[in-house]
Chains A and B, each alone.
Chain A
Amino acid sequence: MREWIKSLDGLLRGEATKPDALKRGLIEVPAGGMLMLIAVLGAFYGVCMACFAAFNRPVADALMQMVASAAKIPLLFLLTLLVTFPSLYVFNALIGSRLTLRAVWQLLVATLSVMIAVLASLGPVVAFFSFSTTGYSFMLMFNVLMCSVAGILGMKFLLFTLQRLTTVFKEGSEPPKPVVSPPPPVVPASAPVPSAVAPSEAVPASSQTVAAADAATPPPFSPPALPAVPAPKGALEKAEDQVFSGDVMSIFKVWVVVFALVGAQMSWVLRPFIGAPGVPFTWLRERDSNFFEAVWNTFWSLLGA
């Protein structure tokens, strides 16, 4: 548990997404542990959210609502992840990014962890407003707002990390930049790679790169770092100037929007989270209408229209 929290902390601090840490082309976080943390923190926010029910329902109902919300928030995030992950990976691979399946997965799990961490930090505020507010519409909009804040920050994390991965891949495909020496003669990037493979058998490529970068004097035959992902050479190497072409970035940008839409609608399917006053407890409500219509209506009812 401590390790997981440390990893989450590293993610938030940006230590896990420093260029050095991304050398292998993925975020090094314990994905399983992160998922556990997502469950725990999500459950915490769920309980905070359901505090509203505590004032408008009989005790048994309120408790059930808390349990239900605590289970539903992690579920909401995980289901959204599961729904959107395959298509993201497929399009990502199709468009020719170097992210492996595992790298995409790690990236998304890390993004979700960041999102949930932000959300959980807002939990006490939500609990306080739940205790002191009687209006259901206000609480609904307030929770939507809090989730949007968390979502936007999480998505920013995703896009920034992707940008950092871009530079990592770019540096990985070029010779490490020497500190003082003039730029080395243009070497076809693919040429030295075979020669570098032999001595680096024992040492992982990434650590070699670090060593090469650390040494102030550029070694005469500094082996260019291997492409971070052991991908088939040739086809990929040609496109290395545009490892993450605009295409990949735009795929991710579209995905961010899709993720948000799916998440919103998923939350609608999984409702109730807060528990409307005067309505008996149910695990799920009937499936009708959609999230956006409901938020729109709530917004207007809040304004008294």
Chain B
Amino acid sequence: MHDFFQRADRLLRGTSLSPTWRLSFVYSIVFGLVYGAAMGCYSGLSEERWLQIVYSALKVPLLLLVTFGFALPPFFVLNTLLGVRDDFKAALKAILEMQAGVALILASLAPFTLGLYVSEVKYEFVILFNFSLFALAALSAQIILYRRYRVLIAQRAIHQKLMWAWLACYGFICAQLAWTLRPFVGAPDEPVQFFRENLGGNVYEVLGQMIVRLLT
């Protein structure tokens, strides 16, 4: 247990003895669960709503890991094709650590979310707030990613591009998956459910239509 937190600390500081592969996954899951549970508390802890907390808790690690699973094959092939397959282990470690970092940062932000929920705010604002926290966590975790990638980039400049390719690919899939996995927070006036009945289609289509509607 002590080791668990010590390695998490080292992950944040970027000192040596970084977490192992398995531990990176464990961090993504455990800290994801923590933030997800906090996020799901919006509609209260009453008997009919507690299931929402479980669902929300499960969804955050699910979002991270499934996105990772989808984005990994193209990333692997691209690395191989661009001739840096030998560095793939290091690259994989970097992206895994970043993902663990996202979960860790999110978990550290969970008290803010809970604090906000106590102060009775509107559902729309809650959504926006959670979205901002995700964005904040993703952006901050770039530090972890870049710290690991800096070494690789120094060796082969192509890693710079590959890093961006990973982020673009991950982000692109993550947005759609997040849309599919809704509701994360759970509107208080809707029944508790794991998925919305209508899966909601494609986030980019929805966004595009929104923009068109705004412009016309």
Contact = CB atoms under 8 A, between A and B. Distances in A.
B71 interface: yes
A274 interface: no
A114 B78 CA distance: 10
B128 interface: no
A117 B205 CA distance: 28
B202 A138 contact: yes
Interface string B62-104: 0000000111011011101101010000000000000000000
B70 A117 contact: no
A153 interface: yes
A125 B74 contact: yes
Interface residues of B, number: 26
Interface in B160-215: 173, 176-177, 179-180, 199-202, 204-205, 208-209, 212
A304 B74 contact: no
| Interface size band for A | 20 to 34
A118 B202 contact: no
A138 B204 contact: yes
Contacts, number: 68
Interface in A6-31: 9, 12-14
A280 B102 CA distance: 45
B199 A157 contact: no
B183 to A, nearest CB: 15
Contacts of A289: none
Given A122-B73, A124-B69, A129-B176, A153 B205 contact: no
Contacts of A135: 201-202, 205
B81 A132 contact: no
Contact of A13 (B71, B83, B180): B83
B101 to A, nearest CB: 23
A32 B209 CA distance: 47
A124 B77 CA distance: 13
Contacts of A118: 74, 77-78, 81
Nearest to A9: B80
Given A125-B74, A304-B209, 13 more contacts: A9-B80, A12-B80, A13-B83, A117-B77, A121-B73, A121-B77, A128-B177, A132-B179, A132-B202, A133-B202, A135-B202, A157-B81, A302-B208
- Counting from the closest, the 3 A-B pairs by CB-CB distance are A133-B202, A121-B73, A121-B77
